[in-house]
Amino acid sequence: MSDKFIKTLNEGYSYKGEKLVIGKAMYENAVVPEVEVAIPLKTINRHGLIAGATGTGKTKSLQVLIEQLSSQGVPSLVMDIKGDFSGIAMPGSSNKHIEERHEKLQMPFESKGFPVELLSISDEKGIKLRSTLIEFGPVLFSKILGLNETQESIVTVIFKYCEDKKLPLIDLEDLKQVLRYVSEDEQGKDEFTSNFGTISSSSLGAILRKIVALEQQGGAKFFGEPSFDTDDLMKTKDGFGVVNIIRLTDIQNKPTLFSTFMLSLLSEVYQTMPEQGDADVKLAIFIDEAHLIFKEASKTLLEQLDTVIKLIRSKGVGIYFITQVPGDIPENILSQLGLKIQHALRGFTAKDKKQIDKAVENYPVTEFYKTDEIIQSLGIGEAFVTCLNEKGIPTPLARTYMRAPQSRMDILSKEEIDELVSKSHLVEKYNTDLNKESAYEILLERLNQHQEQEEDSKPKTTRTSKNDEDSTFEQIMNSPFVRDIGRTAMREGTRMLFGMLGIKKRRR
């Protein structure tokens, strides 16, 4: 055993404050119980990455990290794309594999469940996450619709018009009603045109069609009230941080909706939370299948996400991406991630090998490992780990034998999910639809008033005398339609008369 290895890593992973223990270091394929691999709680807001090929243990490492945070009283928010994370709510059960692992680690295994809130932006069971169109804003809303620059500028002007006219934009019905009002109603069209100019009917039609398409994808469920209060993500229970799990299994085929929702949520957290500096960590956000955020994100969306990630750590919030290869994350964002837990990568193709080389370049140089070789042979539940210490300096790269999760390493049953949701005090707060007066109701009432005024302004005709009857008869008889009928009847009658007299039309 290398004394230098033990000394170097113990110095690198020694902290004064609270820490999250995730495993023990390995040297020459053996676990070194003397070397504890941990993450300082103080630097959780420096963001991070959990990467690795399918089946290498990413989800279990994520589970361990969130368990440790909850034990320290730090709440978390997890984007559960695959639907395999809900088991953290229930105590785990030991087996021979877990016993062997913890025997090597020389750490006791304690079965434990953690406080969980289930949330949803779709039809999944849980607390309904909603946002109003006003909170979402015209830029993000245009991105989710996939509008071009011209259409995006129209949406921005529509939002401005609604702000000036005190028309609250709450849900998609509000926006559709506004678009109809400024394009079909004469008063609405004149009012809009005098302030903002004309809008082509083709552009309005395209926007309306895309709104309808968004409704068909389930987007209508997300926009509305009550709007979710981000303070409800910062809860603790019995000293443990609450694990908020957003169940997203039914929006895997809607990456634009997911990425835009994610950015909206991050922006809302940033805007509502007070400045914390590096004093306290208030929330950790974990984004599983992170490539979905960047898959179809526009340049503007990526720039906004980059800005939010840079600034949000001062609010005491850490953001963690979980994906297969580090290359799924844009370079400018990857460079901001202090913690890296890298499971095995498989180099089957030339492209895979390039990804491995790129991953290795992101880690500190080490004399104890041949990183490019070991990264392809890491076993399940093993990972390369490096983080920032309390002074912001990267810790030595450690091949880590990860501890097992204390909670269940499987999903909850339908009955358990129902019970968990029924016990939530937030369900009653958020799962009741509110239908306050908004743009739809205001404009509908206005249109009804216009229609009534037009009905009242029309002249009312009543039959009061014979003169009135005569004038009506004259109007009918003098109408072009009646005159045409008369001429036709006279012509056909004349032909019949001449025929009876033996007179035929002359042929030329």
The C-alpha atoms of residue 293 and residue 295 are separated, in whole angstroms, by: 6
The C-alpha atoms of residue 210 and residue 312 are separated, in whole angstroms, by: 32
Cis, bond preceding 255 (omega within 30 deg of 0): no
CB contact at 8 A, 283 and 317? yes
Place of tokens 């992170």: 290
pLDDT of 433 reads: 65
Smallest CA-to-CA distance from 279 within 42, 7, 34 is with: 42
Q: Which two tokens stand for residue 21?
A: 């223990």
Place of tokens 């039609």: 205
How far from the centroid of its chain's Cα atoms is residue 198's Cα? 33
β-strands 398-402, 382-386 pairing: antiparallel
The C-alpha atoms of residue 200 and residue 154 are separated, in whole angstroms, by: 10
CB contact at 8 A, 96 and 223? no
CB contact at 8 A, 226 and 130? yes
Task: Give me the helix-helix angle, 138-145 and 149-164, nearest 10°.
Answer: 140
Smallest CA-to-CA distance from 269 within 45, 493, 85 is with: 45
The C-alpha atoms of residue 472 and residue 483 are separated, in whole angstroms, by: 15
Q: How far is CA 439 from CA 173, 281, 380, in A?
A: 8, 40, 55
Q: For 424, phi and psi rounded to 5 degrees? A: -75, 130
β-bridge mates for residue 318, sequence order = 284
**Beta strand spans in 14-103 (E):** 19-27, 30-40, 48-51, 76-80
β-bridge mates for residue 429, sequence order = none
β-bridge mates for residue 501, sequence order = none
Residues 6+ apart with CB under 8 A from 301: 143, 259, 260, 263
Q: Which two tokens stand for residue 46?
A: 């420096």
β-bridge mates for residue 341, sequence order = 50, 385
**Three-state secondary structure of 381-408:** CEEEEECECCCCCECCCEEEEECCCCEC
Smallest CA-to-CA distance from 26 within 40, 37, 15, 38 is with: 37
The C-alpha atoms of residue 253 and residue 153 are separated, in whole angstroms, by: 27
Smallest CA-to-CA distance from 83 within 222, 245, 221 is with: 245
Identity of the residue numbered 411: I
Residue 153: other Cβ atoms inside 10 A:
15
pLDDT of 272 reads: 85
The per-residue pLDDT string of the chain (508 residues; one tens digit each, 9 = 90 and over) reads: 588 999 999 999 999 999 999 999 999 999 999 999 999 999 999 999 999 988 899 999 999 999 999 999 999 999 888 888 899 999 999 999 999 999 999 999 999 999 999 998 877 788 888 888 888 889 888 877 888 889 999 999 999 999 888 888 888 988 998 988 888 878 888 888 888 888 888 888 899 999 988 887 777 778 888 888 888 999 999 999 999 999 887 666 676 677 667 777 888 888 888 887 666 789 999 998 888 777 766 676 677 788 888 889 889 999 999 998 888 888 888 989 999 999 999 877 777 788 888 888 888 889 999 998 899 899 999 999 999 999 999 999 999 999 999 999 999 999 999 999 988 888 888 877 656 566 667 766 766 665 565 566 656 554 444 454 444 445 544 544 445 445 444 444 444 433 433 333 433 3
DSSP code, position 368: S
Residue 155: other Cβ atoms inside 10 A:
22
Burial class for 208, CB neighbours closer than 10 Å (0-12, 13-18, 19+): middle
Burial class for 248, CB neighbours closer than 10 Å (0-12, 13-18, 19+): buried
Q: Euclidean distance between the first and final Cα of the chain, in Å?
A: 124
pLDDT of 488 reads: 46
Smallest CA-to-CA distance from 27 within 43, 6, 58, 49 is with: 6
Burial class for 29, CB neighbours closer than 10 Å (0-12, 13-18, 19+): exposed
Please provide the size of the chain in residues.
508
Q: For 454, phi and psi rounded to 5 degrees? A: -65, -40
Identity of the residue numbered 306: D
Q: Which two tokens stand for residue 206?
A: 């395209």
Quick one: which H or E segment has residue 291? helix 291-295
135 by DSSP, 3-state: which?
helix
pTM: 0.80
DSSP code, position 220: G
